[in-house]
Amino acid sequence: MRDAQNILGTPELANVVDSLREGIQIIDREWRYVYLNAAAAAHGKKQVKELLGFAMTECYPGIERTPMFEQLRRCMQEQVPCSLQNEFVYPDGSRRTFQLRVRPCQVGVVVTSIDVTEELKLEAQFRHAQKMEAVGRLASSVAHDFNNVLSVILSLSSLLIEDLKPSDPLRADLETIKKAGEKGADLTKQLLAFSREQVVLPRSVSLNELVMESEKMLHRLLGEDIELVAHYEQSSAKVRVDPGQIGQVLLNLAINARDAMPEGGKLTIETETVLLDDSYATEHFGATPGLHVMLAVSDTGVGMDHATQSRIFEPFFTTKEAGRGTGLGLSTVFGIVQQCRGNIWVYSEPGGGTTFKVYLPVSEATHEPALESVAPSTLRGSETILLVEDHEDVRLVAEQILRRYGYCVLVAQNPGEASLMAERHPQAIQLLLTDVVMPQMSGRELAARLLVQRPELKVLYMSGYTENSVVHHGILDSGIAYLQKPLVPEALARRVREVLDARPLGAAAV
C-alpha cells in the first residue's frame, strides 16, 4: 500500500494535505482506502490506521446499500465526476451531514468531504425565522383590521345593553354578541403578542420573584396528579420585561405541559443566570451572546417528534383534537420572548418529555421609578375633544361614546380636516384623540403640528397596529399616552379621563 508521500509527491505536500479541515480520501476499485488525511478519518470517527488498506465495506458494514455508495460506483465505472450531500449515521445513532465531491482518478476515485451539519442547521433556523416573520406580519395586519371591526361590535353592543332594561328580551342576545366580540379581542391580543406588537411597558424585575408569584396559580392549574418542582438560582440579576407577559409565558407553557401529561407526571421550573457565548449564538439563529437569565420549563409527558417541534410556534398549529385550544398558546410565548429581545428553544423526544428554555438578556438598569397610575374619580367630563379617525364606523362609535360621557366632540376624518378645525375653533380644545396610522400624515405628525398652535393640548393616541412612530415592536415611547384597539366604552372613557387629569407632559407627549 503506498503511503501519503508516494501518492502526493513530497513530505511537505503530504503534511499540508493532512492538516486540511477538508477530508480527502482515495479509494481504489476494490473499495479499499489507499489514502486518507486526518480530517477524512475524523469524519468517520476513526483513526487513519483503522481505515488505510481496508475496504469501505469492512470498516462500515452496510455502506454498500447506501445511495452514496452507488454514486461512487457510478463515478468509478463511468468516469463521471459528481457532487452529493450525504448524511452519515454513526453506530451510536448520531448523524452528521457531509458535502461530497467525487472525481475519478487512475486508481479509482478521489473523494473530498466537508462537514456541513451546522451550516444546514443554521439555514433551517434562518428559513424558519423568515417564515415566522412573514406569518407575524400577516397576523399583525389581520389583527389591525379585525380590531376596527371589533371596536364597532363591542362598543355598540355595550351601549345598547346600557340602554335596555334588565328584563328586555334583547339584552341576552346583545350579551352573547358582546361575549363573542370579547373572545375575538382575546384572539387579536394573542396575534399581536405573536407578531411582537402587543403594547407593553417593560421594567427591570427579578425573574425569580415573578415565577414565585405564579406558583400558587400553577398548582391550581396543574391539578393533584402533576407534581410541581421549582429550582431558583439565588441571583440578583434582573430582566427587562412586562411582568404580566412573563405570567402569560408561564401559564401557556404550563398548560402545554399539563396537556402532554394526561396520566399525570412532573413539571419542573428552573431559573439560572447563564452566559451565552459566541459559539451558542452561532449555532442558534437569532440568539445574542451575553449574560442571560434562563427560565426552563420541563415535563415528563409524551414528547414531540422533529416535525412537530418545527411547527409548534406557528399560530393556530395544534396537535390537540378539535375544540381543545386555539393553537395560539405557544405562538404567544414565542412573540413575547422575541419582544423581550430573548430567545426560546425546545428540546424533546417522543416519549421522553419536553423542555422549553427561555433566555432573557440581563437588564443593565439599576433603578427605574415605579409608574404611577391614579384611578379617575369619575369617567364623565365636559371638556372639548378633537377626534381624528379615518375609519368611518370606528369614528362614529368613538364619537357616540365620548358624547355619552358628557364631552364636546369635534370630529375629523383625516389630519387635514383636523388641522382646519383646530385653526377655526374659537374655544379651547383640551384633548386630541387620534388614530396613529392615517393617509398622508400620521397621528404623531398631526399632534406635533397642532401643539405649535395649542401648546396646552393633551394627546391620546389610539391604534390597533403598533409598527409605527408611537409604538415600536410593542414598546411604547416614553411619555406617550396610548389606547390599544378594539375600543370599548368604559376603557376609552377611563383612558380619556386619565390623560385629561394627568399633569402636563410637555414635549415628551409629542
Strands 82-89 and 108-115 turn out to be: unpaired
Can you point out the beta strands (E) in 233-301? 239-241, 265-276, 290-299
Type and span of the H or E element at 162 = helix 117-163
Alpha-carbon Rg for the chain, nearest whole angstrom, is 32
Query: 496 pLDDT band (50/70/90 cuts)?
Result: very high
pLDDT cut 90: percent of the chain above it: 30
283 to each of 2, 126, 332, 468, how far by Cα in Å?
A: 40, 11, 24, 32
- Sheet architecture: strand order including 95-104: 33-36, 23-28, 108-115, 95-104, 82-89
Cβ atoms of 222 and 228 closer than 8 Å: yes
Domains and CATH numbers, the chain: 4-115 (3.30.450.20), 120-194 (1.10.287.130), 203-361 (3.30.565.10), 384-509 (3.40.50.2300)
| Mean pLDDT along residues 14-43 | 84
Cα 107 from chain centroid (whole Å):
54
* Single-letter code of the amino acid located at 341: R
Q: How far apart are CA 121 and CA 94, in angstroms?
A: 15
State the average pLDDT for the chain: 83
Q: Taking 90 as the threshold, does the pLDDT of residue 355 lie above it?
A: yes
Q: Taking 70 as the threshold, does the pLDDT of residue 468 lie above it?
A: no
What region, left, alpha or beta, does residue 189 occupy, with left being phi > 0 and alpha being psi -120 to 50 degrees? Answer: alpha
251 to each of 103, 267, 294, 328, how far by Cα in Å?
A: 57, 12, 17, 13
Instruction: Check residue 293 and give its pLDDT.
Output: 92
Query: 508 pLDDT band (50/70/90 cuts)?
Result: very low
| Mean pLDDT along residues 31-35 | 92
Choice among 33-37, 257-261, 471-475 with the minimum mean pLDDT: 471-475
Q: Taking 60 as the threshold, does the pLDDT of residue 296 lie above it?
A: yes
Q: Taking 60 as the threshold, does the pLDDT of residue 30 lie above it?
A: yes
Instruction: Check residue 510 and give its pLDDT.
Output: 47
Could you tell me which of 503, 508, 454, 451 has the C-alpha nearest to residue 476? 508
Could you tell me which of 404, 423, 480, 486 has the C-alpha nearest to residue 412? 423
Cβ atoms of 259 and 299 closer than 8 Å: no
Could you tell me which of 263, 240, 268 has the C-alpha nearest to residue 253? 268
| Mean pLDDT along residues 120-142 | 74
Q: How many CA atoms lie within 13 Å of 447's alpha carbon, on the beta-carbon side? A: 29
Q: Taking 60 as the threshold, does the pLDDT of residue 286 lie above it?
A: yes
Tell which wins on pLDDT, 61 or 507: 61
Q: How far apart are CA 474 and CA 336, in angstroms?
A: 10
Q: At which residue does the C-alpha cell 417522543 appear?
A: 350
Cβ atoms of 75 and 112 closer than 8 Å: no
Tell which wins on pLDDT, 186 or 238: 238
Instruction: Check residue 118 and give its pLDDT.
Output: 84
Query: 335 pLDDT band (50/70/90 cuts)?
Result: confident
| Mean pLDDT along residues 109-121 | 89
Instruction: Check residue 507 and give its pLDDT.
Output: 39
DSSP letter, residue 190: H
Instruction: Check residue 509 and give its pLDDT.
Output: 45
Q: How far apart are CA 172 and CA 27, in angstroms?
A: 82
pLDDT in tens, 216-262: 888 888 888 999 999 988 887 889 888 888 888 888 899 889 989 98
Cβ atoms of 486 and 188 closer than 8 Å: yes
Q: How far apart are CA 56 and CA 47, in angstroms?
A: 14
* Per-residue cell: 451: 401643539
Q: Taking 70 as the threshold, does the pLDDT of residue 193 lie above it?
A: no
Query: 462 pLDDT band (50/70/90 cuts)?
Result: confident
pLDDT in tens, 399-458: 999 999 999 999 999 999 999 999 999 999 999 999 888 888 888 899 999 999 899 999
480 to each of 216, 416, 495, how far by Cα in Å?
A: 35, 22, 12
Name the 3-class secondary structure at 299.
strand
Name the 3-class secondary structure at 379.
coil
Q: How far apart are CA 458 and CA 501, in angstroms?
A: 10
